[in-house]
Every structure is written in structure tokens, then in C-alpha cells.
């Protein structure tokens, strides 16, 4: 059976490769052959190689017109309602994903986001009404535009943990604190395709409010603090090697002394570059040392999320301070210039987490 009747296979496949990701759910419904074609890893590899892939920044972002939630105590306080917003970096277009079924009060607060293939994974957080720790896992598939409920995160309540993915199959989780506010040393991995969790070996130290990236085939967990340190962020980092299934030796001075007043927002590029936003400073690691390469604009210096595009440009999302509009900037490493991204009032709400997706 032909992909498109009366068209050569190469031409028909090129037509599918040029389609917008918005059209994928419709394409999948046309016929099983199209559904199979756009589900193949080779399809996305060819899209990327031919320059037709789309780079998406996916955010847990507060609605601008937040309703006021009423609590059982009779008090009424404004509670942000978070949903998933999507920024298409090529076009600047913004959109919103369908709400998670059964989550009428929005996403869990402080949930973590990760992308694996064409899936978005939403893990953990706090119930927006009761503020109880959630072990929930929600997976959105961009090919079908549908949500599914994943297997709950095991190991007991865990809040403010680090999270990163290998972008292909697995999401890694480490640190955070338990229901007694004790910092944790444990780590887990979630196989999205199999919908299964597994425990990793313990880290070398407790790490509450740590940061994580997946870089050079390793899961890197950065900073955080132990129970008795109470907010005194560590300069250390440790890396889990997926090929040996072991943690490496702890890097005792991975962060510079000026990067520990608040957990830095980090990102890794395909070119091997490692970047961090710390207060107003944009940092890059060279020869195992952090160097300041720029100053972050004032209206985005409270950085919520950072990503590195395939072109090498950085994208930074944040605000001047909590309560101020969220904005985005692109930073070009070739000329060290910041360019402000187009804004839209509907998408100026506070951002709690983000992830990068290319498809």
C-alpha cells in the first residue's frame, strides 16, 4: 500500500516530513500506514536531518486569569492554576495542551516535566488544593494529542526532586525531601515505553532542591543540601553512568562559590556545552571551570527554565520577580546578544518548570 496514491514513496514521505506537529493527530487518524510511519524513530531522525523538525519549549505555566480557590478553613486566597503551555521556537507561536483528565484544579504545583520521544511526562508535585505530596505520573503523546496515566512514582512521598531524561526512553529522578522533610539520597528511573519504575543505587549524599541534567550519556545531579544544612546549597555534583549503572566519584567543587546562594538553572547542548543561569549571570563551563559570558536581562533574571537549541542559541524563560510577567529571551553565542521573544498576555503567567522537545 502506498503512503499517498500515485506518488513515489520518497515524495510521499517528504510530504509527511514537512507537516507541522499540530497535524500529527489528524495524520495518525487517516490510516494505519500513516500512523505507523509517523511513530517510527526514523521519521523524526529524518525530520531533524532535513531541517523540518520543530523545537518546542513546554512549560508548566500559571493561567493569567487564575480563579480563586476557597479552602476549608473559610479563608480565600489566590492559588495559581497551572497548565501546560507550548512555545514553538521557530515560529514564536504559543498554544496550550488539553487539560489532564481528572485534574480540574490544574497541574500539581512544583511538578517536574521531561520529554521522551514524542511524549511529555509530568511527575510528582503537590496537590493544588490540599498541598499533599503527589506521586502521580501523567504522559501526553503529541502524536495522538491524548493523555494517559502512568504508574505512580514509588518510594514514598518525594518533593522538590531533580528530574531529567535521556530524551529517548527514560526519565531519571533523584533527591528531594520526604514526608518528614528529610533530604533524600535515593534515585529512580522511569521507562516511559514500558511504564515501569526501577530504583537506582543511592547517591553519595542527601540532596534536597537539587538540579539535574542529562549530558554525555550521564545523569548529573547538581547541588542541593542535606537535612541538617537547611538551605545551605552544596557546591558538589555526582553523575550516574547509564552504561555501568553506577554513580561516579563526587565532584566536590562542581559549582563556583558564587553559584550556591540559590540552585542554578542548568542546561546542556548537543555540542557538549554546559550552561547555567545564576542570579544575573549567564555562565558556561570551560575546562571544568565556570566562566561568566553575559548578563541576564533584568526582566528575566528570575529564571525558571533554560534550553539549548540545536543551533547553539540559548532560550531563557523567567521574570523580574515572582508576580511579574513571564518573558523569554534568546541568546546568540556568536555575537553575545539577547533578543526578546514575542510576548502574549495569555502566556505571561508564572512558570514553574519546563522541558525541551524536538519533533
The pTM of the full predicted model, rounded to 2 decimals, is 0.93
CA separation for the pair 144, 141 (Å, rounded): 6
CA separation for the pair 66, 69 (Å, rounded): 9
Q: Which residues pair with 327 in a beta bridge?
A: 318
What distances in angstroms separate CA 263 from CA 46, 58, 193, 260, one per listed residue?
Answer: 37, 21, 31, 6
C-alpha cell at 53: 523538525
Q: Are 297 and 279 in contact (CB under 8 A)?
A: no
Q: Which residues pair with 294 in a beta bridge?
A: 282
Cα 359 to the chain's mean position, in Å? 15
- Residue 4, class by beta-carbon neighbours within 10 Å (0-12 exposed, 13-18 middle, 19+ buried)? middle
Torsion-angle region of 73 (φ positive above 0: left; ψ -120 to 50: alpha; else: beta): alpha
Q: Are 70 and 355 in contact (CB under 8 A)?
A: no
For every one of its 359 residues, what pLDDT tens digit does the chain have, with 9 covering 90 and above? Answer: 789 988 999 999 999 999 999 999 999 999 999 999 999 989 999 999 999 999 999 999 999 874 444 444 444 556 789 999 999 999 999 999 999 999 999 999 999 999 999 999 999 999 999 999 999 999 999 999 999 999 999 999 999 999 999 999 999 999 999 999 999 999 999 999 999 999 999 999 999 999 999 999 999 999 999 999 987 999 999 999 999 999 999 999 999 887 877 778 999 987 778 999 988 999 999 888 999 999 999 999 999 999 999 888 999 999 999 889 999 999 998 899 999 999 999 999 999 999 999 99
Q: Is 206 helix (H, G, I), strand (E, B) or coil?
A: coil
CA separation for the pair 57, 339 (Å, rounded): 16
Amino acid at each position: 500500500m502506498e503512503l499517498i496514491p500515485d506518488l513515489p514513496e520518497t515524495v510521499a514521505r517528504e510530504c509527511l516530513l514537512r507537516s507541522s506537529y499540530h497535524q500529527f493527530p489528524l495524520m495518525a487518524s487517516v490510516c494505519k500506514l500513516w500512523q505507523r510511519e509517523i511513530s517510527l524513530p526514523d521519521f523524526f531522525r529524518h525530520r531533524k536531518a532535513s531541517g523540518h523538525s520543530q523545537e518546542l519549549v513546554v512549560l508548566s505555566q500559571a493561567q493569567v486569569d487564575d480563579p480563586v480557590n476557597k479552602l476549608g478553613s473559610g479563608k480565600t486566597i489566590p492559588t495559581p492554576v497551572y497548565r501546560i503551555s507550548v512555545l514553538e521556537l521557530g515560529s514564536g507561536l504559543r498554544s496550550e495542551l488539553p487539560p489532564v483528565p481528572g485534574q480540574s484544579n490544574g497541574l500539581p504545583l512544583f511538578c517536574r516535566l521531561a520529554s521522551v520521544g514524542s511524549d511529555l511526562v509530568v511527575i510528582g508535585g503537590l496537590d493544588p488544593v490540599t498541598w499533599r505530596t503527589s506521586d502521580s505520573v501523567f504522559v501526553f503523546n503529541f502524536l495522538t494529542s491524548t493523555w494517559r496515566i502512568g504508574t505512580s512514582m514509588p518510594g514514598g512521598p518525594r518533593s522538590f526532586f531533580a528530574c531529567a531524561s535521556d530524551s529517548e526512553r527514560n526519565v531519571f529522578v533523584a533527591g528531594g525531601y520526604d514526608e518528614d522533610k528529610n533530604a533524600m539520597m535515593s534515585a529512580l528511573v522511569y521507562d516511559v515505553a514500558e511504564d515501569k519504575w526501577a530504583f537506582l543505587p543511592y547517591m553519595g549524599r542527601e540532596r534536597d532542591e537539587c538540579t539535574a541534567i542529562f549530558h554525555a550519556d550521564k545523569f548529573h545531579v547538581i547541588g542541593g543540601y542535606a537535612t541538617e544544612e537547611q538551605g545551605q546549597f552544596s557546591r558538589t555534583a555526582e553523575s550516574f553512568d547509564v552504561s555501568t549503572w553506577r554513580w561516579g566519584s563526587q565532584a566536590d567543587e562542581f559549582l563556583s562559590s558564587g553559584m550556591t546562594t540559590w540552585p542554578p538553572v542548568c542546561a546542556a547542548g548537543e555540542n557538549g556545552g554546559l550552561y547555567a543561569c545564576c542570579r544575573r549571570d549567564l555562565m558556561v563551563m570551560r575546562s571544568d571551570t565556570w566562566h561568566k559570558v553575559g548578563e541576564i536581562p533584568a526582566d528575566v533574571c528570575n529564571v525558571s527554565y533554560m534550553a539549548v537549541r540545536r543551533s547553539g542559541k540559548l532560550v531563557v524563560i523567567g521574570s523580574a520577580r515572582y508576580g511579574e510577567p513571564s518573558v523569554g529571551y534568546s541568546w546568540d553565542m556568536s555575537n553575545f546578544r539577547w533578543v526578546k521573544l514575542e510576548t502574549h498576555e495569555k502566556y505571561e503567567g508564572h512558570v514553574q518548570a519546563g522541558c525541551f522537545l524536538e519533533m
